[in-house]
Amino acid sequence: MHLRRLPLLLGALALSAPALALAQEEDDAPIAYPDEEDSEDSPRKLPRRSEDPTADFDRMRDDEEAEGEFERLAGEDDPNKGLVGEVIVGAMLMDSSRGRVADPTFGLGLRFTWEFGRILNNEPLRETVWADLRWTMAGLSDGTELIKGSTRTHYFSVAPAYEYVFGESKTYGIFGQLGGGFAFQTTSLTIGEEQTAVKGMKPLLQYGVGFRGRPRVSEKMAVAFRIELMRFRRGYMDDTFVGGSIGTAF
C-alpha cells in the first residue's frame, strides 16, 4: 500500500517546485502604482538644476516680470564721486576785426566737471556722459604810446559731453561737446591820459572735440587731463581755443 503511494508523492513534489518558483517571482515583482500625473498624493518632480550657475539669473534678467526683483548695483563698489577740477591753458585764436584770419593770444581758465552719468544707475553711461562748468579768459591789446586799445573777453559756459571710453580701466576716451553760455567783453581805449571803457555781453555757443584721461593714483583720486579743440561763437564772431588742462578727479 505504501509502495503505491510513493509514485504519487514523488509526482506531487515535482509539480510543486515550479509552482513555488512562480509564486516567488510574483512576490518579488515591483508593486504597480497609479500614474503619478493622475495621483494627487504623488510627490512632485523637482526640476533639474542647470549645470550653468548663471542660467537662472539670465532667464530672470530677461523676464520683464522679474526685473523688479533685482536691485541694480552699478557703482556700489566705486568710491569716486565723479567730480573734477582743472586749470586750462592754451592758445586762443580770436576772430579778427582787421581782416586777418585770427588774432592769436594766450587763453587761461578754470573748469569743473561733474560726471552726472553716475547717478543714472546705468553701467554704460557711468563713464561716458558728463558736463562742464567753464570759465576762460583771453585778451588783446595794441596801439602806440599815444593811443592804446585793449580787449578782455570772458567766456562762461555749461556744456554736456559724450565720451567714447576705451582701455581695460576705461580711464581714457575721445569726446564731443556742445553747450552754451555768454561772453562778457570789456574794451578800453586810451588816448594820452584819457580812458574810455565799453562793456558788453553776448550769447555764446561752445562746441568741440578732445581727448580725455584720468589715470588713477589712489583708490579715491586720479589725475585728470585733456587735449582739446574748442570753438566759441559769440554773436557773429568765432574764437578757437587749442590747448589742454590738468587737474584732479575725485
Interval 64-116: pLDDT, tens: 444 455 455 555 556 678 899 999 999 999 988 766 778 899 999 999 999 99
Ordered domains of the chain (ranges, CATH): 79-249 (2.40.160.20)
239, burial (CB in 10 Å: exposed 0-12, middle 13-18, buried 19+): buried
The C-alpha cell at 166 is 576705451
Task: Return the pLDDT at 144.
Answer: 82
Residue 193 scores a pLDDT above 80: yes
- Classify the phi-psi angles of 28: left when phi > 0, otherwise alpha if psi is within -120 to 50, otherwise beta: alpha
pTM of the model: 0.68
* Residues 55-68: tens digit of each pLDDT: 555 555 554 444 45
Per residue in 18-75, pLDDT (tens digit) is 554 544 555 555 555 555 444 555 555 555 555 555 555 555 555 444 445 545 555 5
pLDDT at 120: 80
Is the Cβ–Cβ distance between 144 and 162 less than 8 Å? Answer: no
pLDDT on residue 66: 47
Length of the chain: 250
